[in-house]
Amino acid sequence: MFLVLILVLVSCNTKPAMDSGLVTKESIREEITQMDDSLKFYFDEMMDDKRSDLPHSSIDKAIELHQRYYAKFPKDEYAAECLDKIHQLHLQKKEYGKSVQICDTLFVHYPTYKNISDVYFSAATTYDYLLSDSTNARKYYQVLLDSPKTNKAIKKEIKMRLPYLGMSPEEMAEQINLEVEEVLKGK
């Protein structure tokens, strides 16, 4: 009888690893992969004009999963990739301030992240075009210009943009047209 009681008590306390709080890298990455697959499906529907945007609830869940991985395993190299995805998801939600905050975290904690140049460019263009913050845009554009790892085409694009920093694309085009007219008058 005593043995039966022990078996009942032990079997009642048996819980799956996730319920007991034991979270592994693999379990979170599996959830992330499933969510990324769902987001890809929604994105493909957007590209086929079957959907106007990604569901915010799915984006929020993806952010939460990537954030959980980063918080639980900050020293793992995949943590930087999680932050990169979080910043991109905030851009998708038009949460530009949150996006650049995540970029700043990447710059401080993961300066050697394999895609750090892309993150700098994303932060610079977000500050430039979406937040109208030419001071921070210039700072990050300069980091890219100073880096030997930055693609030459990106450097050329940045050098063309810097004289018109703070202008919208429309204002920039208008200014360039005025400059071209001035050059043509001088000939």
Same domain? For 146 and 169 the reply is yes
At residue 85, the pLDDT reads 96
> Residue by residue, what is the 3-state secondary structure of 41-82?
HHHHHHHCCCCCCCCHHHHHHHHHHHHHHHHHCCCCHHHHHH
Residues 31 and 103 in one domain: yes
Of 111, 138, 154, which marks where a domain is finished? 111
Q: Are residues 34 and 106 in the same domain?
A: yes
User: Are residue 105 and residue 164 in the same domain, yes or no?
Assistant: no
Same domain? For 148 and 162 the reply is yes
Query: What pLDDT, on a 0 to 100 scale, did the predictor assign at position 44?
Result: 78
Boundary of a domain, candidates 86, 111, 136: 111
Please give the backbone phi and psi of residue 174, each rounded to the nearest 5 degrees, phi first: -65, -45
Q: Is the residue at 99 inside a domain?
A: yes
| List of the chain residues with pLDDT < 50 | 1-20
Domain assignment present for residue 172? The answer is yes
- Do 32 and 91 belong together in one domain? yes
Domain boundary, last residue among 111, 138, 164? 111
pLDDT reported for residue 21? 59
Query: Using N-to-C axis directions, what is the helix angle for 96-109 and 116-125, rounded to 10°?
Result: 150
CA distances from 60 to 20, 28, 79, 93 (A): 24, 15, 18, 9
Mark whether 125 and 101 lie in a shared domain: no
Instruction: Please give the angle made by the CA atoms of 89, 116 and 124, to the nearest 5 degrees.
Output: 70
Answer whether 62's CB lies under 8 Å from 85's CB.
yes
pTM here is 0.77
End-to-end CA distance of the chain: 107
Same domain, 95 and 120: no
Q: Is residue 185 part of a domain?
A: no
Tell me if 10 is assigned to some domain: no
Query: For the chain, how many structural domains are there in total?
Result: 2
pLDDT digits (tens, 9 = 90+) for 18-28: 444 577 888 88
Residue 187, pLDDT score: 63
Instruction: Report how far residue 1's alpha carbon sits from residue 28's, in angstroms, rounded to the nearest whole number.
Output: 42
Residue 162 counted as domain residue: yes
**What pLDDT score was predicted for residue 166?**
86
Q: What one-character DSSP code corresponds to residue 128?
A: I
Whether residues 31 and 100 share a domain: the answer is yes
Burial 53-86 (b: 16+ CB within 10 A, else e): ebeeeebebbbebbeebbeebeeeeebbbbbbbb
Same domain, 62 and 121: no
Identify the domain containing residue 175 by its residue range.
115-179
Task: Count CA atoms within 13 Å of residue 47 on its CB side.
Answer: 6
